[in-house]
Amino acid sequence: MLTGDNEGTARAVADQLGIDEYRAELLPEEKVAAVEELEREHGSVAMVGDGVNDAPALATASVGVAMGAAGTDTAIETADIALMGDDLGTVPYLHALAGRAGGVIRQNIWSSLGVKLLLAVGVPFGYVSVAVAVLVGDMGMSLGVTGNAMRLSRLRPETVLDS
């Protein structure tokens, strides 16, 4: 946890959230340096913040997440993602949803490529007409991958986090 708050407040919040490591009384440029250090050590870093002092670190992080309801306009505009509430419990859901979305994207790419490959092989040998190949390969796959992606809209935090 990186915060500009004093040591006592930072320790209390870290204890309440079950966070082992925190840095308190940081200036905006110190938060940026800390994010850069974490990225060098661990790879991708997500930064969650709500204030003007968080905006530079939000912009530096691999993924910047602004807490929308309490967030300043600067933080919200700088972040990659703006949450409309103040519940930090949505962050694990966001992470899990991103993983699910990545899986659906891979499914869509591979299924689309597979169908198009089959159609590309089938047309020259006369197994599939050009009209069917165009309909299935373009319109059919567009509908198919859209429908597959729409499954994500049915996910709720409790179903994503429980699985």
Give φ, ψ of 5 to 5 degrees.
Answer: -70, 165
Which SS3 state, helix, strand or coil, does residue 26 take? coil
- Residue 4 tokens, joined: 């500009």
Domain boundary assignment for the chain: 7-83, 90-162
| C-alpha span between 97 and 23 (Å, rounded) | 28
pLDDT at position 159 is 67
pLDDT at position 61 is 96
Which SS3 state, helix, strand or coil, does residue 89 take? coil
- Strands (DSSP E) contained in 2-127 are 46-49, 63-67, 81-83
Summarize pLDDT for 3-41 with one digit per residue, the tens: 999 999 999 999 998 999 999 999 999 999 999 999 999
| C-alpha span between 19 and 10 (Å, rounded) | 10
Please give the class, per CATH, of domain 7-83: alpha beta
Summarize pLDDT for 95-145 with one digit per residue, the tens: 889 999 999 999 999 999 999 999 999 999 999 999 999 999 999 999 999
16 CB neighbour count, 10 Å cutoff: 8
pLDDT at position 71 is 60
